[in-house]
Structure 1
């Protein structure tokens, strides 16, 4: 299906790692839709080349920031202001319908059925279920909607300083208008919220479709032992009984599919730097080797007599005038 796509966002090279794991998890589960990633200028050219190996489309957009330090401070997440950049996803008008997924989500099975839903479909947020979580949502690209969102952001801002507060205010009837636009929590399962209702997780958790690594600590902040396939942080096993399997799954994909791409890039960049140094050294050697010898006064006089005058170089009028002035002085 060429006119529908899963879309994600990476605002720097670190978040690109999450986007790559997400993209690879969608590939692993044989999605029939296109994969697109929005990037900002902060993403390096090398990382963009790796993104091209997993995503069908890599689109660079300008960063948008709420700059709402007060509300962001309430969540102790100042970095979330840049999530306003997510609004650019509505500009992808060559697609008829898309599913946006944050770069810190992970697909556990094929979820193409999400495209049967309409805008604006999302799952409830575990912290306040009358609000949706903006980590996974179904939308229809539209420049009209994009401009309305920008105007709404300018006039009303966001109650949490990030994209989630803005989108909940904009799509304000989500909680009451149409239950068909309420995605089951299994499509956006918070990997940390499962502990608040463990019996429910034990009963429904095996059917989870998308896991979302909410919070300031992301999977790439942990350490991983590829031999034992265990997740570590600060030298000790971190996480709890339910979170560890999700973290291990993320790291399995990272180590198998993403790390080799990063290592290849590192090798190419290293070889390229060595090549640059070799070329610079060779040019330096050639310059020294072919440095022209100083002409004798007799050679200079003979060139003048033969009409071979370097008007733009050493025989330029300004240089001759300078010599005469020095002589006369």
Structure 2
């Protein structure tokens, strides 16, 4: 239907990679709706050309920034101020209804049925379920709503400094008025929920329709080995998601997006495409002198990234592990990884 569209936002080239994978996943699952991406001037011209290959409309918008450092500091996410740029989605009045999706989401199946919902339909946030998560929501474009949101942002700000706080203030009746506007959590499965309620993920995770890579570390910040199709992170970010979803993201990126990025000159070689976003990759590349050479072979790639073994970890007692968990410092990529927790859970259930 030409008057309905999925909409996403890219404020820079990094998030454009996420938007490209999201758009490709929607197409892969045969959506009948149009695809629209809002971009800011920070998105490069070559990246815009790639976005035009995936999206029906690529629309340039100005940045809206809350500059609310106090609230954003509480969340430890100062970069979220620019997420107010998302408000521009209400100005797309060429459409009668839209579904907004953050660029760090991934579609696992056809979700066109979301267009049967009304504004504002969204899934609960895992951190505070009486608030909805603004990563996926159904809405109706309206200049009146757009102006009202801008006015509220100007006069009252946002309780978290970003778009989610503002939208929950504006659509304040969401929690109590109409249960039909509460999307099932499978439409916005967030990474943090896997660790906070692992039994539920074990029981219902297979039904997930949209995965949301919440947190500071995004799929494009991981290190990917194209030969083994494995993903690795050198971060201990507490919102690391199940590796199977990360692998899905990278499979789409390497198969559908990487050739486009290379064709339009966004990336020059496999090394840049797969590892330039990893700080470790840059450190190793420069220390080994690889970036000074005209070509980077697969062998070099594995020498610099793929074949490194992690250093042995010091012994940690059960009591110390417990204290680290309570302080939010669990070893999510090691002893407290998803696979280890799942293995422990299986043992108890058996």
Class of the TM-score when normalised by the shorter of the 2 chains: 0.7 to 0.9
Partner residue of 1:124? 124
- Map Cα deviations across residues 4-28 of structure 1 (whole Å, 9 max, x no partner): 0000000011100000000000000
SS in 1 for 2:205: helix
The 1:69/1:114 distance shift into structure 2, 3 A limit, reads same
Q: Is the 8 A contact 2:37 2:58 kept in 1?
A: yes
The 1:133/1:237 distance shift into structure 2, 3 A limit, reads closer
Question: TM-score, normalized by length of structure 1?
Answer: 0.79
The Cα shift of 1:233 comes to 2.4
Partner residue of 2:249? 250
Bigger-Rg structure (1/2): 1
Partner residue of 1:157? 157
SS in 2 for 1:266: coil
The Cα shift of 1:243 comes to 1.1
Partner residue of 1:223? 223
SS in 2 for 1:113: helix
Is 1:71 the equivalent of 2:32?
no
SS in 2 for 1:186: helix
CA distance in 2 between counterparts of 1:144 and 1:240 reads 37
- Map Cα deviations across residues 273-299 of structure 1 (whole Å, 9 max, x no partner): xxxxxxxxxxxxxxxxxxxxxxxxxxx
The within-5 A match list for 1:127-146 is 127-146=127-146
Question: TM-score, normalized by length of structure 2?
Answer: 0.74
Partner residue of 1:18? 18
SS in 2 for 1:154: helix
Q: Any unmatched runs of 5+ in structure 2? A: 270-350
Partner residue of 2:275? none
Partner residue of 1:113? 113
CA distance in 2 between counterparts of 1:233 and 1:88 reads 33
Q: Is the 8 A contact 1:231 1:237 kept in 2?
A: no
Is 1:192 the equivalent of 2:192?
yes
The 1:254/1:61 distance shift into structure 2, 3 A limit, reads same
SS in 1 for 2:9: strand
SS in 2 for 1:192: helix
The within-5 A match list for 1:1-329 is 1-234=1-234, 243-266=242-265
The Cα shift of 1:230 comes to 0.3
SS in 2 for 1:133: strand
RMSD across aligned C-alpha pairs, in angstroms?
1.9
- Map Cα deviations across residues 239-261 of structure 1 (whole Å, 9 max, x no partner): 99961001000000001011111
The Cα shift of 1:191 comes to 1.8
The 1:266/1:83 distance shift into structure 2, 3 A limit, reads same
The 1:201/1:145 distance shift into structure 2, 3 A limit, reads same
SS in 2 for 1:36: strand
The Cα shift of 1:155 comes to 1.1
The 1:221/1:267 distance shift into structure 2, 3 A limit, reads closer
The Cα shift of 1:194 comes to 1.2
The 1:229/1:88 distance shift into structure 2, 3 A limit, reads same
